[in-house]
A and B are shown apart, each in its own frame.
Chain A
Amino acid sequence: MSKIIDVTMPSLGADMTEGTLVEWQAKPGDTLNKGDIIALLETQKGMIDMEVYQQGVITELLLEPVVSVPVGTVMARMSVAGEAARPAAPEASYPVAQAAAIKSPPVTSDQSQQTVIPQPNRPRQGLLASPVVRKLAAEQQLDLSRLSGSGPEGAILLRDLPANGPEANAAGSPDPAQAMRSAIAAAMAKSKREIPHYYLSLEIDITRAQRWLADFNAERGPEERILLLALLLKAVARSLHKYPALNGYYQQQTFTPNSAIHIGNVISLREGGLVVPAIHDVDQLSVEEIMVRLRDMSERSRRGVLRSSELLDASITVSNMGERGSDLLFGVIYPPQVAIIGIGKPRKTMLIKDDQPELAEVVTVSLAADHRVSDGMTGARFLNALANKLQKPEKL
């Protein structure tokens, strides 16, 4: 005797509420054994091969890929041998949530499980969007699934975007400061939501670096003087070579290190907001060249004439508050980058060297990095390497 059982969207973790069926790996009539792959799923944890937990024959595939459905949604039906079909006593290897999902469909518990069948032909809800909306969403890293569309079949149109609401359209031109705030909000919210940050800081003795700078700048006019930041950027760039896990992009569940070192510099605008243009190939530049780029970039940022490549291809960011800042700042990683370095304001303090107190100048450098890509030990090694580089400023 055989009976028909439901194959449902499994829960692969406490935070998983829905999953995406990307592809069926089996077809009706196929006989599957326990542990065979029936489908490819995409979840927040990446692509997952979905196994079946019973031996049986697939009778029906109820969903058309690609489609996102809540955990517990019936995806397919299988014909299994009589008593063995009962899921009441799952084996130890079952994910617990899977068993729970089978027992109690999450949405409408008063309905019987068989009725929770999504319509295969229905368009993916919330995922219809006009081309310009898709383009802007990609640029501003907006999560379209969080918006509701006012177009045909719920399509998301321009007017449904936060910065393009009816008020913005009625006003003729959207307020650029507000648009920038929205863009920063979208990127930072995505970062805080998706990137598991870890934070480290290290107090770095910059007495030698400051002395070297003072000597260097002594006989130079104001236009040719070098700021500490240029030296720090060079030291960061030189240190990054050994720590590729901090320099690159995390996209589609994959980290790709960047062989070039493009450092984004956070620049505050007078009218509010930030831009983060990149200096390309910082490791290849002399400290003087870095200084020239920094001056040029902050000047152009304020005039609003940055190049798109400068705004798009930073592979790590440095945030520096300068003299009027705080002792320590922890940055929020700018996705899809995987690390941000914060530089506090330089300050004088007493350091103990060879058991003797000594007046020194220090700066606290922080690192916020993506735990999906690297661990604290990597970050700490990097910060120490940076500190070492700064002890020999003449070599930078």
Chain B
Amino acid sequence: MTYREALSAGIEAALNADPRTFLMGEDVGRYGGCYAVSKGLLDKYGETRIIDTPLCESGFVGVGIGAALGGMRPIVEIMTVNFSLLAMDQIVNTAATLRHMSGGQFNVPVVFRMACGAGKQLAAQHSHSWENLYAHIPGLKVISPGTHTDARFMLAQALADPDPVIIFEHVMLLNESGEVAGQAEAPMEKALVRRQGQDVSLIAYGGNLHKAQAAAGQLAAEGISAEVVDLRCLRPLDKATLLASVAKTHRAVIIDEGWHSGSLAGEISAIIMEEGFWYLDAPVKRVCSAEVPIPYPAHLEQAAIPQVETIVAMAKAVMEGR
């Protein structure tokens, strides 16, 4: 099953499970979703549950929030995270704040799905990783399925949550094939150790998880035992799991497709400094994107974002204490 099919199966299961659930967004119906995730769902579920919206992110995101307040369980798809900035006011000022501002009287059980990440030569305006903007906001939960099983089951977990949840789906994963387990592996807020290791913790999520795993494989061939931690949830961060890993390996490399400065990786590094400092045997390192808008040319695009070789080189440097 591809990652795309896993996402689609998750949406279908959600539509079947609860009549209050519907999917809305640009091109999700007739076109089948710009990444073909919702292809065929319109025929199956009809126009009241698979709703094409105008090109107006702020408008239909607001509608989704209103529907959630009105008792529905909307799944709102925003083509890419880049366009979500147009709806940032709705997400940050409305969805994230209402529960707090109503003294707990109103929850906003809406789920936003958005594609993110670079690698498809879609140039800067379609390739950025803005996850950290949302991970910064109290009131939101931010998750990032890096495996096929998470792609299949995290949507149901997000819908079950009474608060707004944003799901980031990395575009480079869509065509990847993989196994899907029979059920969710863990609650969505829990980070998982995807590979056990002794020497260095590679902390990654979403689209970079498989790069971290590939790097761990190469490092193993060179006698370095890397542990791969899949964050899965970017807000709240599962500090306990990542600190336990660092306490075991004493070294950490964080992989994040966001830009180096102000990145989520920077936040994780700060957490390790604050709460895991005494376990460290080397400085914490980050593998992030170059500080440029993601370029269009394939070679420049690849040069700008984290790569397996960069992760391997960084892990080796960390092993030397550098």
Binding site for B on A (CB under 8 A): 130-135, 150-152, 155, 157-158, 172
Contacts and interface: CB of A to CB of B under 8 A. Distances in A.
B278 A158 contact: no
Contacts of B320: 151-152
B219 interface: no
Nearest to A134: B278
B321 A132 contact: no
Interface in B265-322: 277-282, 320-322
Contact of B278 (A131, A157, A172): A131
25 contacts: A130-B250, A130-B280, A130-B281, A130-B282, A131-B278, A131-B279, A131-B280, A131-B281, A132-B250, A132-B278, A135-B278, A135-B279, A150-B321, A151-B282, A151-B320, A151-B321, A151-B322, A152-B320, A152-B321, A152-B322, A155-B321, A157-B281, A157-B282, A158-B281, A172-B198
A152 B320 CA distance: 8
Contacts of B278: 131-132, 134-135
Given A130-B281, A131-B278, 10 more contacts: A130-B250, A131-B279, A131-B281, A132-B279, A133-B281, A134-B278, A135-B279, A152-B320, A155-B321, A157-B321
A350 B250 CA distance: 62
B87 to A, nearest CB: 43
A315 to B, nearest CB: 25
Contacts of B321: 130, 150-152, 155, 157
A157 B280 CA distance: 9
Contacts of B282: 130, 151, 157
B66 to A, nearest CB: 50
A395 to B, nearest CB: 48
Contacts of B322: 151-152
Q: What are the nearest 5 A-B pairs in CB distance?
A: A151-B321, A130-B281, A135-B278, A158-B281, A157-B321
Residue among A131, A133, A152 with most chain B CB within 10 A:
A131
A157 B250 CA distance: 10
Contacts of A130: 250, 280-282, 321
A130 B280 CA distance: 7
B277 to A, nearest CB: 5
A277 B322 CA distance: 39
A155 B321 CA distance: 8
A151 B198 CA distance: 19
B285 to A, nearest CB: 13
Contacts of A132: 250, 278-281
A131 B252 CA distance: 13
A72 B31 CA distance: 84
B250 to A, nearest CB: 5
Q: Pick the most buried of A132, A152, A157: most chain B CB atoms within 10 A of its CB.
A: A132
B272 to A, nearest CB: 10
A172 B198 CA distance: 9
A133 B321 CA distance: 12
A151 B281 CA distance: 10
A132 B322 CA distance: 15
B27 to A, nearest CB: 51
Contacts of B281: 130-133, 157-158
A157 to B, nearest CB: 5
Contacts of A135: 278-279
Contacts of A152: 320-322
Contacts of A155: 321
Interface centre among B277, B279, B281, B320 (most CB of A within 10 A): B281
A130 B279 CA distance: 9
A256 B118 CA distance: 62
Nearest to B199: A169
A158 B198 CA distance: 13
Nearest to B198: A172
Interface in B176-222: 198
A246 to B, nearest CB: 33
B166 to A, nearest CB: 35
Nearest to B321: A151
Nearest to B320: A151
Contacts of B198: 172
Contacts of A158: 250, 281
A161 B28 CA distance: 60
A127 to B, nearest CB: 15
A153 B288 CA distance: 26
A155 B198 CA distance: 21
A131 B198 CA distance: 18
B219 to A, nearest CB: 15
A170 to B, nearest CB: 9
A131 B280 CA distance: 5
B139 to A, nearest CB: 34
Contacts of B250: 130, 132, 158
Nearest to B225: A172
Contacts of A134: 278
Contacts of B280: 130-132
